[in-house]
Structure 1
Amino acid sequence: MTSRRWDFVSEYAGEFGVQRLCRVLQVSRSGYYRWLAGAEARDIRQAADQALAAEIREIHAASGETYGFLRVYADLQGSGHHVNRKRVARLMREHGIVGRHLPRRKRTTVPDSVAPPAVLGTGGGEHADCCVRNGGDPVANYCTRRTRPRTPAERLNRARGTGASAGASMSDRRRFKRCRTSTR
């Protein structure tokens, strides 16, 4: 915004004078003269930006228009240019040079909130995922959900491979809930 004011002051300075224009536009005279002194440096910087933008276009085209500013920056550093990555990003943004964006990955395991729950196991129903059939006897269908914590002896039996899951006795069966899917 200030650069437009300085342009306006320099355009009408011969007609109205710098002091009057700066007072009307509420800008400082020293700022205007500083802007005038930096005009040559701005022109040099603009020419350097144009040359760098042309080189960025070449690198971008050579990559099949896939490189973003970080890869273009790395390529420029590799070829001996000492330029800031933010300058590369700004020039690419100003000149409309954009790298290729990969498509967003498709989520395939999002559960459907309306679908009924999947039936796991063999018994069906609420306890289908945890029911154990003992020896093929449908009457002795017990749920393996724990009704109380395991004792050290039960943990030892489990480690040995004995207990409720391997030929359970009636006393072991009492530790488990009666499954709803049993026929009794």
Structure 2
Amino acid sequence: MAEPPAPLRWAPLLALCLLWLLPGLVGHEPWKPDEAYTFGLVRHIAASGDWVVPTLAGEPFMEKPPLFFISAAWTMRLFEGWLGAPDAARLAAGFWNLIAWLGLAAAARGLFGPGHGRWALVLLIGTVGLPLRAHQLITDTALLAGFCWGLAGLSLALIRPLSAGLMLGAGAAIAFLSKGLLGPGCLAAAALA
């Protein structure tokens, strides 16, 4: 039996991923306190254009770096008028999930060979607890994306050192600009292990 063309092989996985990702991103107000204060920061960045020091209730917010807040402000401004402000901002979480999935698939392919990236993705989206957090307006989704791309770089370090170094550097930068030293520290621990 002949193997189906590449687009048809990926169609079921793509449909599963979209069915997992899209319903939780829109159609609800911010959940939990994390989303509420994050939305306040996103709204400030979108209104003021100040990317360096987000402000919450008139006070500078320096607890977390601003990469996720900036990306959410962009999606909020891009989709305003089509979606409510919290839903439009929450699309940034979907964007960072997609970036994380691509990085995870690249890491699994680098470690285990062709065909394993899709199974790593299926295992990730089947993880208990991930659906709730991955659909929220929180910086952890960008941290996950950075960590996945850092692992992809580590998995390809011996085969393609230049592209692996770029992936590891980009992953560490995304993780650092999303949550601080936690992501680069975890990548350093993974590299040492």
TM-score, normalising length: structure 1: 0.25
| Structure with the largest fraction of strand | 1
Bigger relative contact order (CA 8 A; separation at least 6):
2
| Structure with the largest fraction of helix | 2
TM-score, normalising length: structure 2: 0.24
* Higher Cα radius of gyration: 1
